[in-house]
Amino acid sequence: MSMATTVTKAETLVGRRLRRKEDPRLITGTATYVDDIQMPGMHYAAILRSPHAAARIRSLNVQPALDHPGVAAVFTGADVAGVGPVPCGASLPGLRVPAHSVLARDRVYFVGHPVAVVVATDRYVAADALDLIEVEYQPLPAVANPEKALEPGAPAVHPEWPDNLAFTYHQEGGEPDRAFAEADVVVRQRIISQRLIPTAMETRGVVADYRGAEKSLTIYSSTQIPHLMRSLVAQMLGLAENRLRVITPEVGGGFGSKLNVYAEEALMGFVAMKIGKPVKWIESRRENFQCTIHGRGHVDYYEIAARKDGAVLGLRLKLIQDLGAYHQLLTPAIPTLSVLMMPGLYKFRNVSADILGVFTNCVPTDAYRGAGRPEATHGVERMMDLLAAELRMDPAELRLLNFIGADEFPYATATGLSYDSGNYAEPLKKALDLVDYHRLREQQQQAKASGRLVGIGISTYGEICAFGPSPATPAGGWESATVKIEPSGAVTVMTGASPHGQGEETTFAQIAADELGVPIEDVIVVHGDTAIVQYGIGTFGSRGTAVGGPAVYYALQDLKAKILKFGELLLESSDVTFSGGVCTCNRTGKTVTLAQIAAASYRAMKLPPNTEPGLVATHFWEPPNFAFPFGAHIVVSEVDPETGQVEIKRYVAVDDCGKIINPLLVDGQVHGGVVQGLGQALFEQAVYDQDGQLVTGELMDYAVPKATMVPWIESDHTTTPSPVNPLGVKGVGEAGTIGCSPAVVNSVVDALGHLGVRHLDMPLTPEKLWKLIQAGGQA
Amino acid sequence: MHRKVPVQTTINGEPVEFLCEPRQSLLECLRDVIGLTGTKEGCNDGNCGACTVLMDGRIVNSCLVLGVEAQGAQITTVEGIARGNQLHPVQQAFLQNAALQCGFCTPGFIVAAKALLDQEPAPSEERIRLWLANNLCRCTGYDKIVRAVEQAAQELREVKA
């Protein structure tokens, strides 16, 4: 039963289904998340938040809270005037950036907007005292819908910008006007990618600990980006960067929602410095829904131009992005990713896109698993199905006809990208074989003839990941690694990526164990502490392995070169090879082990020429390009005409994420990604009412998929190595989410096509489908 | 500040006495008073199952139980599932299947799955999914969790046979 994790040295560990090194602490309840940290004298913060989507703060009296026993301090917007604004890292020409203070000043802009912070000796006391703060609000008209916000006379989210436009952005390639003029067929559709709530199972949380005598602040935060957070929070607080240490303990899921710097991180730092005691703030689930970024939030107007034979000619997009009230770290940049990926896997030579970035009185949107690419894939894959229906072509054939050819890589897209490698027909053909497509179509016809609503949906997706070359990213796009071999021969890998569930403690150990020829048990991977780990960027955008992995690989190469030098010295030979953890003299056959070399390198009785003592190497790896994974997902669904409920009968995912380091972990990424896509397709939607109240404010109202709501995922792969990095990996964290939603919607539209249904917007709730079926397909 | 009351209970087989405010939840008592932080708070309103513990043989959301209700009860938390270094078959199966990613929901799943297998040696896939529908996981898509519970059930049956 037990699966061996130690293998003989000749076998490589890369490519094997190894158990995760992370898991023993996680399955026994001994891992430390931020809320598990306790310190002597620790205080607890609670935050008063606006109940209004838009209001003027007429008066604010915190004295009754201050008088409450156990309350140490209360801070309001006036107190934190010296704290810098919540940072926006994205820049676009003409971008309007609203002033974003860590606590509201005289006005609030969304429900949940932080107004004051109470600090007390106890979590309950802090919560009790919140109720004692007296705030007089003057409610103002609010707008929560981005299309309504664009109408003349709509309430202005920020009074200084009455049109509610944060930016417009235009991009085009080729000759879109000509393509549309010359087309035989043009199909148009408005497509919504609804607002979603990321819902990491661990909410956000911060512990801040200031040591006045050392003038040093330590912030423990559940984040995906410890180093970037250190730089940005140090700036907000006016601290020298070396006086701030950010520690990322175990992180209970992020999905992009923790790829950010929020008001609370700087606020808790400020509080700790003011009261001279450690302070903890743990976000409640309601706060998480109201105040942590949301994802998606698109209204897209698509037009596709094609010839009669199905060859696509052009694609146009008007993209209305609901930004919310402020820009968080990457808010305005996310829809630009949709534009970059709008051509999908197809030979669209002529494209045009316009983004309207719109302020609303809602919490900001930002990166949520897939970040702009699920929206793009949903758009182009829906449009391909609409075109197939228009031309009465099979949707699989239409895709195969229009794919970029396997011999055309690197492929320069009309949106300015260079797709690294691909063979797009291969996963689709494999998926079609797995479902026995032609037979399935026959079975579907029989089922439909007997009144059953069975549909087959295909989605073939491409995604941009492994962010990315530094010139194309808001911060640096590189990643770093240090590999240390201790005098005993034990190996420590320090990665600047900050994994939080993806499993790089295992995959990076696999890479290091292979390269050094040591057992995987001898390798530990350290991350998430800015005082220990060299500067790094973080884990997001499917970059952990694809950018962090090569950094580890190159650090290991540097180290191996040094090991060889010491091997030559110790073996007194210039003809030495290092393999399997041993340096061998090829003439005498004499050997010296890595542990002996390590000991000698630190003892330093003798050193090779021009060589420093010790065995440590650091590498900062700058990727030359993004990587572009792809794949094909096929869904067979059946709609119950009595209830409108969608049952997923089969879910087949064939993904190509380049070379696979650990298939067990890749499966997990695919499963989890697909189920988040199913959440969008079938269940989830962040609903604000017209006054800007978040109606789906807790887990009772927001339908995160449960075990009973999802099918088995049949996962398979094709392997097209990426030429971008030496490992040939591409990234897989977001693929499932990107590929999923159009496959599901295409299947349900297919199931209801005979009723005249040609498009459905997500989520495909039973209520929506039941009404549609009752009305004979007329929305 | 409310007057604290003493509570005598048994946690993971050990007698435990603690003081808590009458309004404090069992979850907070476990985490903040007793120092057993393996049980997690995911929502504090009974909707996510991250705080699942066994109370007198039944699974409960410890955020919905008051600390004072633990008086005289037998509580099992994730810390009490393994016997010393000997992992429970459910934990073994989670390890082998990598049925977790960020791990935050995992303590709740492990306690819930153990409770199921204590009562039902051969649950169907449907039964497992239904039983675990009180526990939310945002990372795994449940696929490997359900497989792990199926595998643990088989393992336990083989041990007993």
Question: Are A250 and B102 an interchain contact pair (Cβ–Cβ within 8 Å)?
Answer: yes
**Pick from B77, B96, B136: which is nearest to A201 by CB?**
B136
Which positions in chain A touch B64 (Cβ < 8 Å)? none
Q: How far apart are CA A299 and CA A146, in angstroms?
A: 8
Question: Are A125 and B81 an interchain contact pair (Cβ–Cβ within 8 Å)?
Answer: no
Same domain, B124 and B143: yes
**Pick from A27, A699, A712: which is nearest to B143 by CB?**
A712
Quote the pLDDT of residue A6.
Answer: 43
- Is A34-140+203-251+258-291 CATH 3.40.50.11540? no
Count of pairs with CB atoms under 8 A, one residue in A, one in B: 183
B interface mutation test: which of A68, A201, A712 has the most B CBs within 10 A? A201
Question: Are B37 and A29 an interchain contact pair (Cβ–Cβ within 8 Å)?
Answer: yes
Instruction: Give me the CATH topology for the region A2-31+478-621.
Output: Aldehyde Oxidoreductase; domain 4 (3.30.365)
Which positions in chain B touch A500 (Cβ < 8 Å)? 102
Domain final residue, candidates B80, B99, B134: B80
pLDDT, one tens digit per residue, over A598-615 is 999 999 999 999 999 999
Chain A residue with the nearest C-alpha to that of B50: A201
Q: Check CB contact of A297 with chain B, cutoff 8 Å.
A: no
Chain A residue with the nearest C-alpha to that of B49: A201
A34-140+203-251+258-291 and A298-468+625-774 in the same fold:
no
What is the distance of C-alpha A522 from the center of its chain? 31
Same domain, B93 and B71: no
Question: Percentages helix, strand, coil for chain A, rounded to the nearest 5?
Answer: 30, 25, 45
Q: Check CB contact of A668 with chain B, cutoff 8 Å.
A: yes
CATH number of the domain enclosing B48: 3.10.20.30
Question: Are A203 and B155 an interchain contact pair (Cβ–Cβ within 8 Å)?
Answer: no
Contact A215, A237 (CB under 8 A): no
Same domain, B56 and B19: yes
Same domain, B75 and B110: no
On the question of pLDDT at A195 being above 80, the answer is yes
SS3 (DSSP) at A706: coil
Same domain, B38 and B75: yes
Which positions in chain A touch B38 (Cβ < 8 Å)? 28-30
B127 is in which domain, residue-wise?
89-160
Quote the pLDDT of residue A429.
Answer: 98
On the question of pLDDT at A15 being above 60, the answer is yes
Which positions in chain A touch B47 (Cβ < 8 Å)? 285, 698-700
Phi and psi for A54 in degrees, rounded to 5? -155, 125
- Is A298-468+625-774 CATH 3.40.605.10? no
Cα of B132 to nearest chain A Cα, Å? 6
Question: Are A503 and B101 an interchain contact pair (Cβ–Cβ within 8 Å)?
Answer: yes
Question: Are A675 and B81 an interchain contact pair (Cβ–Cβ within 8 Å)?
Answer: no
B interface mutation test: which of A27, A125, A369 has the most B CBs within 10 A? A27
Which positions in chain A touch B146 (Cβ < 8 Å)? 707
Quote the pLDDT of residue A5.
Answer: 42
* Average pLDDT over all residues of chain A: 97
Alpha-carbon distances of A643 from A453, A774, B7, rounded to whole Å: 12, 10, 49
pLDDT, one tens digit per residue, over A215-253 is 999 999 999 999 999 999 999 999 999 999 999 999 999
Question: Are A29 and B141 an interchain contact pair (Cβ–Cβ within 8 Å)?
Answer: no
On the question of pLDDT at A498 being above 60, the answer is yes
Same domain, B98 and B125: yes
Domain final residue, candidates B63, B80, B97: B80
Q: How far apart are CA B134 and CA B130, in angstroms?
A: 8
Which positions in chain B touch A70 (Cβ < 8 Å)? 1
Beta bridge partner(s), residue A637:
A455, A648
pLDDT, one tens digit per residue, over A316-335 is 999 999 999 999 999 999 99
**Pick from B43, B82, B130: which is nearest to A699 by CB?**
B43
Quote the pLDDT of residue A627.
Answer: 97
CA end-to-end span of chain B, whole Å? 55
Question: Are A124 and B23 an interchain contact pair (Cβ–Cβ within 8 Å)?
Answer: yes
Phi and psi for A108 in degrees, rounded to 5? -115, 150
On the question of pLDDT at A315 being above 50, the answer is yes
Q: Considering chain A, what percentage of its residues have pLDDT values greater than 90?
A: 98
Q: How far apart are CA A463 and CA A373, in angstroms?
A: 6
pLDDT, one tens digit per residue, over A439-464 is 999 999 999 999 999 999 999 999 99
DSSP state for residue A329 in the 8-state scheme: S
Domain final residue, candidates B55, B80, B105: B80
pLDDT band (50, 70, 90) for residue A586: very high
**Pick from B24, B41, B110: which is nearest to A27 by CB?**
B110
Going by C-alpha positions, the residue among A618, A474, A460 that lies closest to residue A534 is A618
Count of domains forming chain B: 2
What is the distance of C-alpha A447 from the center of its chain? 39
CATH number of the domain enclosing B154: 1.10.150.120
**Pick from A122, A282, A674: which is nearest to B141 by CB?**
A674
Question: Are A707 and B142 an interchain contact pair (Cβ–Cβ within 8 Å)?
Answer: yes
Cα of B1 to nearest chain A Cα, Å? 7
Question: Are B79 and A500 an interchain contact pair (Cβ–Cβ within 8 Å)?
Answer: no
Q: What's the mean pLDDT in A522-535? A: 98
pLDDT in tens, chain B (161 residues): 568 999 999 999 999 999 999 999 999 999 999 999 999 999 999 999 999 999 999 999 999 999 999 999 999 999 999 999 999 999 999 999 999 999 999 999 999 999 999 999 999 999 999 999 999 999 999 999 999 999 999 999 998 87
**Pick from B45, B94, B97: which is nearest to A285 by CB?**
B45
Q: How far apart are CA A248 and CA A224, in angstroms?
A: 8
On the question of pLDDT at A577 being above 90, the answer is yes
pLDDT, one tens digit per residue, over A337-369 is 999 999 999 999 999 999 999 999 999 999 999
**Global pTM value:** 0.97
Same domain, B50 and B12: yes
Quote the pLDDT of residue A307.
Answer: 98
Q: Check CB contact of A4 with chain B, cutoff 8 Å.
A: no
Same domain, B13 and B61: yes
Q: What's the mean pLDDT in A112-122? A: 97
Quote the pLDDT of residue A419.
Answer: 98
Residue found under tokens 């034990």: A490
Which positions in chain B touch A675 (Cβ < 8 Å)? 140-142
Question: Are A708 and B100 an interchain contact pair (Cβ–Cβ within 8 Å)?
Answer: no
Quote the pLDDT of residue A468.
Answer: 86
Contact A54, A542 (CB under 8 A): no
Domain ranges of chain A: 2-31+478-621, 34-140+203-251+258-291, 298-468+625-774
| A48 token code pair | 């008063």
> Looking at this predicted complex, what is its ipTM?
0.98
Quote the pLDDT of residue B1.
Answer: 55
Chain B residue with the nearest C-alpha to that of A204: B42
Q: What's the mean pLDDT in A563-568? A: 98
Chain B residue with the nearest C-alpha to that of A285: B43
| A759 token code pair | 């498009």
Contact A277, A42 (CB under 8 A): yes
Q: Considering chain A, what percentage of its residues have pLDDT values greater than 70?
A: 99
Same domain, B12 and B76: yes
Question: Are A29 and B48 an interchain contact pair (Cβ–Cβ within 8 Å)?
Answer: no
Q: Check CB contact of A36 with chain B, cutoff 8 Å.
A: yes
Question: Are A31 and B103 an interchain contact pair (Cβ–Cβ within 8 Å)?
Answer: yes
